[in-house]
Chain A
Amino acid sequence: DTEVTQTPKHLVMGMTNKKSLKCEQHMGHRAMYWYKQKAKKPPELMFVYSYEKLSINESVPSRFSPECPNSSLLNLHLHALQPEDSALYLCASSQTPPEAESYEQYFGPGTRLTVT
Chain B
Amino acid sequence: GENVEQHPSTLSVQEGDSAVIKCTYSDSASNYFPWYKQELGKGPQLIIDIRSNVGEKKDQRIAVTLNKTAKHFSLHITETQPEDSAVYFCAAASMNYGGATNKLIFGTGTLLAVQP
A residues near B (Cβ < 8 Å) are 4, 6, 31, 33, 40-43, 45, 48, 50, 55-56, 90, 94, 96-98, 100, 103-110, 112
Besides A41-B109, A56-B98, 4 other A-B contacts (C-beta < 8 A)? A48-B101, A94-B101, A97-B96, A105-B46
- Complex Cα gap A98–B102 (Å): 9
The answer to whether B98 touches A31, judged by C-beta atoms less than 8 angstroms apart, is no
Say yes or no for B25: interface residue by CB 8 A criterion: no
Residues of B within 8 A of A112 (CB): 41
Known: A56-B98, A96-B100, A103-B32. A90 touches B44 (CB 8 A): yes
Q: Which of A4, A56, A96, A110 is in CB contact (< 8 Å) with B103?
A: A56
- B103 engages A103 (CB within 8 Å): no
**How distant is the Cα of A39 from the Cα of B22 in the complex, in angstroms?**
22
B107, A42: Cβ atoms closer than 8 Å: yes
- Which one of A42, A96, A106, A107 has the greatest number of beta carbons of chain B within 10 Å? A42
- The number of chain B residues touching the other chain, given as a range, is 20 to 34
Residues of B within 8 A of A41 (CB): 108-109
Given A97-B95, A98-B96, are A103 and B102 neighbors across the interface (CB < 8 Å)?
yes
B51 at the A/B interface (Cβ < 8 Å)?
yes
B43 and A110 within 8 A (CB): yes
Contacts of B28-65 to chain A: CB distance below 8 A: 32, 34, 36, 41-46, 49, 51
Q: Which residues of A contact B36 (CB under 8 A)?
A: 107
Q: Contact residues of B with A, CB < 8 Å?
A: 32, 34, 36, 41-46, 49, 51, 89, 93, 95-96, 98-104, 106-109
Q: A103-B93, A107-B43, A107-B45 are in contact. Are A43 and B106 (CB under 8 A)?
A: yes
Q: Knowing A105-B34, A107-B45 touch, does A31 contact B102 (C-beta < 8 A)? A: yes
Known: A97-B95, A98-B96, A103-B51. A43 touches B44 (CB 8 A): yes
| A97 contacts B101, C-beta separation under 8 Å | yes
State in angstroms the CA–CA spacing of A4 and B46 once bound together: 13
A104 near B46 with CB under 8 A, answer: yes
- The 8 listed contacts between A and B (C-beta, < 8 Å) are A42-B109, A48-B100, A50-B100, A50-B101, A97-B96, A98-B99, A103-B32, A108-B43
